[in-house]
Structure 1
Amino acid sequence: MKVEGEKRLMKKFCILFVCLAWSLQTVHARLYVNEIMASNVLSYENPEGDYEDWIEIYNSGTSAVNIAGYFLTDDYRGGNYWKIPSTSPSKTTIPANGFLLLYADGKTEKGPTHLPFQLAKEGEEVVLISPDGKTIIDSLRYGAQYRDISYGRMPDGGQTKGYFDTPTPGAANNQGYATVSETPQLLTASGFYTGNVLVTVRASRPGDTLRYTLDGSDPIRTSSRYSGPVSLSNTKVFKVRSFGPNKMPSPIQVHTFWVNIDHTLPVLSLSTDPENLFNPQTGIYVNDGDGRAWERPVELEFFENR
């Protein structure tokens, strides 16, 4: 009986020790869902050579934390939690004041940093849960996401959240934008025209500044300012976007205007920023590269035969 009593006492002591150790770890470490990317087209190539959604966890504490045994989910209300495997502590340990990337790619067979779900670019919530399967450590709710733009905390671990046009997977966040400017309305239809064509644009939100280009390049804050209809006398690719105070620039609107050009067959028009082709370091026309890293975004327009 004495031996059985000692065994029970020892078991209780071990449980108490484990709980105390975990409690001390959480006292000295604060974990945050710090940054996410839900539309990774060409922004970040992971170690396996893939461009997948990713989630960054930040450890603001003074000691390393192994998150094996914690749970992560994008379906908290549905109760679908993923337990981070304990098979490789070196891959699931976050150093003090450090970061850990987890890949939301649905490919758990690739290792403990790969998750069974993908992120919805329309918006959802990512939740980090303690090993007890109940306590929420941190969460990050986000709205609609944009191609190669990340979303997260400003600064790391902060309560302010926003968009980053320069994502920093596995590193400290930059200063971002709390909101995104609304896409302008390009009112003049693209297509084939005889004689001059007047291109009219309307801001979706009063106070936004519209900037446009006619050479195929993406509009930036120093591009021509739209102040009224633009007259075109020859074929141009018209690109326009909104710029608001303290806002990330809007997605770009693109229309191609074919002026005084006849065609007897349907036309498929592809346009892209010339930098994507001719930049000395990254242009795909002047460099010999292959694979996903050498793909570039294009705008596609189709015109029926007149």
Structure 2
Amino acid sequence: MLAGLLITGMLAAQPAAAADPAGYLNVRVNEVTSSNSDTVELYNTGSTAVSISGWKMSDDSFSPQSFSPSSSTIPAGGFVTFNSPKGLGDSDKLVIYTAGGTVVDRVEWATDRATPGMARCGGDGTGAWVTATSASTFGASNASGCPSPIPAASRVRINEVTSNGSDTVELYNGGTSAVSVGAWRYVDSDTSHSPVSVSSSSPSATSIPAGGYVTFNSTVGLGDTDSVFLVDSSGNTIDSVTWVTDGAKPSDERCANGTGWFRTATTATFGNANSCSGSTGGGGGTQTGRLLGGGGSITSGCAPEAPSGTGSTPTDTLAWPGGLDVTITDNACAFTTSTGAEGRDLSGLAFDPANPSVLWAAKNKNWLYKLVKSNGKWIPDATWSATGKQIHFAGGSGEPDSEGLTVGGNGHIYVTSERDNTKNTVPKDTILEFDPAATGSTLTPVHQWDMTSQFPQLNTGSKDDANLGFEGVGYVPDSWLTANGWVDPLTGAAYDPASYPLHGSGLFFAGLEWDGSLHVYGLNSDGTFTTFGTIMTGKASVMDVTFDAGTQRIAVTCDNTCGETHTFMKVNASGAIVPDVTYTNPAVMPTDNLEGFAVAPASTCVNGFREAVWSDDGIYGFGSGSSSYGHALYSGTFPC
């Protein structure tokens, strides 16, 4: 989705004035009643909280008035309600303004449409407006108040629009019967413009058959940043779409056709099913970010793998705190190897703290990559190996199922393995240490530590169970553990690194996919290891682990199994390592097996942000035909 396309259900605002709060366009009128209480519900479709302090409302007869909301701030995905200070009529219009007078949103209804209430159905903040069939649901999701089935007129949606001169609008009827639309009206976001009938713009556009289309050219004009607002012949709000700065060139289209989120198309497809071949937006909530880059041909033999194991997002999860835009930052099917010709299975990621321009990556089928940036993409460093280096277990044997990696205090690369891929029904939960300065196209470990016996639940003879072992690993420096007062589980006293003279300068936190636990080890130079116990992360699984010096937290990543989330762990007042805060991914990203996550060192910060990178283990993106299909790496920003 290009340039912050918003999907709304009514007319959106003119470009915001400087004084308007960030994210104000994500606030939507979600439910309204004109009986007795004259209550209005606002919903925040965005990923960050929005202040509504000083906002006003008007109807079709009175000037903007202050109102008293249930809260002055709407959290991401949250609701705020208020009673109209002047009352609302059986046939009326509601307009919401920021404190600076910018129109935020508006909805219109005919006689009795808002009795007992009028609510969005098919998605809070984005669904079609219908008359509720049961008691109001103010302060909660509208689902319980929505009629079934949704009326035929509400099945008509704006499906595609362009602002490239022809200013064409396409309507699509997703229902099972024809709908008369000739007397329906539309208008853009310029409040000085009067609504124009669809039939006056296109005399043949009188009715839309079931599953059919109607197109017309806007006579009010459509700008680079604009909206289309559609009402029926009675004045009831039907649908709208808003785009920002060239988002509708060559066109913006819903994907899937008639129901999905808008994205910028590669070519317009007016009168036909949408191609869904352009820049992609994500699912879930109004999107204000962009997913950029991608494309390119799929290499012969490259076989992306659809995600599996999708679970729900924890209830206490917060929205991604960094930028909403994400860029695809690798070439299509870039990681094909002799043991992984299908091109997928890139998993663990770690920035090199000594050289932040280097990103290390592990591929499940026993390959290690040193990546550097070139023309905005992460590509293998040709001076190290243009095709990656194959890794083996001690003695040069086997194929480590390499899932996670981290950079140790000595600059060496530490890789976790769940199994030997040549014997994939048997677990082999190991941590292997590699010297990146070693020459040759293959690498064997300097040291190898085998913890398999600690996890008998994985040794059942099932390859699925064997595949739920060490999925990620993070090196955590002793200096952080001691400065934060971590209590050594082995002694019950403050952790003293000097008590473990062979372990180096930090400990290693290995994440177990089986149950989302962290297992803490001191990896000794004589090949032995010290086990410091288990830490529960509160997550169902762990896919990657990284110590982030910028936030002074241990970041634990889970893919779609846990709703694409990252839990940052801290040392609490009792000296235990516990969850602190959990964030989702940026909303424009796909819900895939995103198993790798890394944030750049704080030394790379620019204007308060630094790079964050994700890896898609299945290179599936949004599926076949999308710009992200066949790509493994995504790049965004995270606060410093």
Whichever structure has more strand as a proportion of its residues is: 2
TM range (shorter): 0.3 to 0.5
TM-score normalised according to structure 1 size: 0.42
